[in-house]
Structure 1
Amino acid sequence: MTVTPIDPAWLAAVDAELLYLFAIDHQDAGMDAFLLGCYADLPPREAALAFGSDYDLERDDALWPRPRVPV
C-alpha cells in the first residue's frame, strides 16, 4: 500500500480549521499519514468537518460560543 504525500500547505490549513472548530490539531487527533490521506481530496474546512463528524468530535463553539463581530 502506498500513502499519498500530504501537501504541507493543505495540512497547515486543515490544522487551522481543526483548531478553530475543535481546539485540536491533526497530531492531537491522532491522525497519521494514512488517515490524513483519507481526507486529502477535500478542501481543508470540509476535511476538518468530515473528520469531526466521522469521529464524533464536539465543536468548540458548541461549548463556548464565539463573540459576534459587528458588521
Structure 2
Amino acid sequence: MTAVVLNSTITCPACGHRKDETMPTEACAWFYECEHCKALLRPKPGDCCVYCSYGTNTCPPMQQSGCCGF
C-alpha cells in the first residue's frame, strides 16, 4: 500500500500563482482563495475538491480509495 501524500502545490488558474499546502485528511476542500489575486477557486465539474482540480496531488480520500464519499 502506498503512503498518502499530504502536501500538494496548488496553482491558481486565474493568475498562475503556486503555493505549497498541506491538505486536510478527513474532508475535501471545496473552496480555496488564492493569496495573490484573491480568486475563489472551486472544484472543476466531476472533481471532489480544489486539490483534485488544481493541485499536484489528489486529496487524501482519493489517494486512499479513489472515492471521497460522494
Whether TM exceeds 0.5 here: the answer is no
TM-score interval w.r.t. the shorter chain? Answer: under 0.3
Q: Which has the higher contact order (CA 8 A, sep 6+)?
A: 1
- Tell me the TM-score normalized by structure 1: 0.26
Instruction: Specify the structure having the higher radius of gyration (Cα).
Output: 1
Give the TM-score normalised by the residue count of structure 2.
0.27
